Structure 1
Amino acid sequence: MSYNSEEIDALLKIAPLLNEFMLEDIGILITDTEKVLAYYPGERLDFGIKVGEAIDKNWVVDEALKQRRRVVNEVDESVCGVPYIGVGNPIFNENGTLVGGITISQPTEKKERLLAMSKDLLSTTEEVNNQVEEIAIEAEDMVEMGEKLEEISDETEARVRNTDNIVEIIKDIADKIKILGINASIEAARVGEEGQGFAVVAKEVQNLAEKSVESTTNIEETLEKVNEISSELNNVSEKLAEASDLQASVVNKIHAEMQSLNVLGNKILEMAESLSDDG
């Protein structure tokens, strides 16, 4: 049918100028209800459509004419080398009669890049969040390990203190044995030959006392080393606790920042997807 429409006439006059006013490269197709009236390809979008060509049933304008409403069709790069979005609108005259349609096609490379970037951002934040959670678990394990080390150190110190008391008792007994040996030697010397056997026993008692003193000295040295190790354990557990607290603080800050990035990534994704929403 002949378009004979002021609305279409107006579009035909302004269509050649639209690309100059648009920030993005666009293609414009104007039809009546049966055929192409005008086609202005974009720099990167050229479907090779000819004036007078019948409307193809696969075109978005055909769907818009059939449904008598705005139709949006998003197409990937397999069709013409670049992804694009086609928006078809029916044209009605002042009496409400359908007289034609118009389609504006626009590349969506930027939108696709934005989508890819937002998805990469979300993927990265998710991966980092997983790593942060693992670090948090390790930090908790470190705290638990530090607490166990502190318990072991405290128990060791308590046992060493208890052993110190035993050593003091042994030293006291050794001193008394030594005095007993000396007294026995004096008594054996006083009685002369009759006390020779007693003198031998006294000598052995003195030797036993000296060995006891020597043993307690060795025990004291060993306990002193154990005390030093215990103190080092305490220092290590304290430093471990400090490091764990610092790590936990850093992990919490990173987690909060990653949560913010995740929210931002979702907003970017929504914005990118909304670029092609129909409505």
Structure 2
Amino acid sequence: MDRNIHETLNKLIELAPIIQTLFDEEVMISISDREEVIFTLLSKELGMPDSTGYKLTSSDPVFQVMKTNKRLSSYIPKELYGTAARTIISPIVDENRQVIGSISIVFSVEKHDRFVRVAEQLAASSEEISASTTEMSTSSHELTGYMNNLLDAYSEMTNQMNQTEKMLELINSIAQSSRILGLNAGIEAARSGEHGRGFSIVAKEITKLADRSAESVDQIRQLLNSIKEKVDNVAQTVSQTVEISKHQSTAIEEISQSIQHLSDVAETIEELSKKI
């Protein structure tokens, strides 16, 4: 190179390989003076070309950094060089605080971008799972409510069946009384002889009616007992279902709380990943 390079820039060129080792990932380093790129340390991972000797123009970010004496950080999309990267350009000043050049460090952000995508997917998945568990919890509470309504209906049905049993006892009592009344009427008809023949027919019909009433009461009672047995079985099943539903509801709420915590963590990770 024909022209002189400032001593500070030469020192940076010597230190560039050491600076490169300070990063966990491979980086590309380029150093420029006020006019052109005077040194490039390439990276195997980054597919960027050697820009040594490139003449700076007023539209170049490096030129703007030296003009404003302010550090610049920018994103390089994957479409340009095949790898998403970030570049940091910093002005270099001499002992008089005059800008004499710049140093650019370019490093891949592919892993960072993957991390951001994973964080976003984790946050989205957590939100979906949280919504699903909330819906499950709501359904579980509704199921418990339906089961409790069934238990209330069972209790009401049991009360009605008990009332029906009392009515059957009353009918049976009336049938017994009617039977006794028919028997007494038959005795009186027999005593009356020929004159009590018509009364005897009525007494027999009363006795038949009493017997049929008693038989009907027995049949109804058997039917009610059968219904009650089935209702008891249903009630027992409903009661067990209510207990299971309560346990499930509690478990779902605990899962929902855990997932909500996971969702909060995922959102925090997503926010932090975007700031890195």
TM-score (norm 1): 0.91
Q: Which residue of 1 aligns with 2:6?
A: 5
The whole-number CA distance in structure 2 between the counterparts of 1:59 and 1:133 is 54
Q: Which residue of 2 aligns with 1:162?
A: 163
Q: Which residue of 1 aligns with 2:184?
A: 183
Q: Mean Cα displacement is larger for which, 132-141 or 188-197? A: 188-197
Q: Which residue of 1 aligns with 2:253?
A: 252
SS in structure 1 at match of 2:55:
coil
Q: Which residue of 2 aligns with 1:70?
A: 71
| Paired residues for 1:23-172 under 5 Å | 23-55=24-56, 59-172=60-173
SS in structure 1 at match of 2:95:
coil
Change (3 A) 1:130 1:269: same
**Displacement of 1:127:** 0.1
**Displacement of 1:203:** 1.1
AA in 1 matched with 2:72: V
Percentage identity across paired residues of the two chains: 26
The 8 Å contact of residues 47 and 83 in structure 2, kept in 1 or not, is answered as no
SS in structure 1 at match of 2:78:
coil
The 8 Å contact of residues 3 and 32 in structure 1, kept in 2 or not, is answered as no
Change (3 A) 1:119 1:53: same
Structure 1: 5+ residue runs without aligned partners?
none
Q: Which residue of 2 aligns with 1:173?
A: 174
Q: Mean Cα displacement is larger for which, 188-197 or 142-151? A: 188-197
AA in 1 matched with 2:63: D
AA in 1 matched with 2:181: L
AA in 2 matched with 1:186: I
The whole-number CA distance in structure 2 between the counterparts of 1:150 and 1:58 is 80
Q: Mean Cα displacement is larger for which, 106-115 or 141-150? A: 141-150
The whole-number CA distance in structure 2 between the counterparts of 1:251 and 1:206 is 66
Q: What is the total number of aligned residue pairs between the two structures? A: 275
TM-score (norm 2): 0.92
Change (3 A) 1:6 1:108: same
**Displacement of 1:238:** 1.8
Q: What is the CA deviation profile of residues 111-167 of structure 1, one whole-angstrom value per residue up to 9, with x for unaligned ones?
A: 011001100100000000110111111112112212211221111111111111111
The whole-number CA distance in structure 2 between the counterparts of 1:60 and 1:6 is 24
Q: What is the CA deviation profile of residues 206-227 of structure 1, one whole-angstrom value per residue up to 9, with x for unaligned ones?
A: 1101110011112212221332
**Displacement of 1:262:** 1.6
Q: Which residue of 1 aligns with 2:215?
A: 214
Q: What is the CA deviation profile of residues 57-84 of structure 1, one whole-angstrom value per residue up to 9, with x for unaligned ones?
A: 5654233223211110012211111100
The whole-number CA distance in structure 2 between the counterparts of 1:248 and 1:67 is 63
The 8 Å contact of residues 33 and 102 in structure 2, kept in 1 or not, is answered as yes
Structure 2: 5+ residue runs without aligned partners?
none
Q: What is the CA deviation profile of residues 4-39 of structure 1, one whole-angstrom value per residue up to 9, with x for unaligned ones?
A: 433211111011343344320111110001101101
| Paired residues for 1:255-274 under 5 Å | 255-274=256-275
**Displacement of 1:243:** 2.2
The whole-number CA distance in structure 1 between the counterparts of 2:159 and 2:57 is 93
Change (3 A) 1:46 1:54: farther
AA in 2 matched with 1:191: S
The whole-number CA distance in structure 2 between the counterparts of 1:53 and 1:220 is 107
AA in 2 matched with 1:237: V
The whole-number CA distance in structure 1 between the counterparts of 2:140 and 2:179 is 57
The CA RMSD measured in Å over matched residues stands at: 1.9
Q: Mean Cα displacement is larger for which, 118-127 or 260-269? A: 260-269
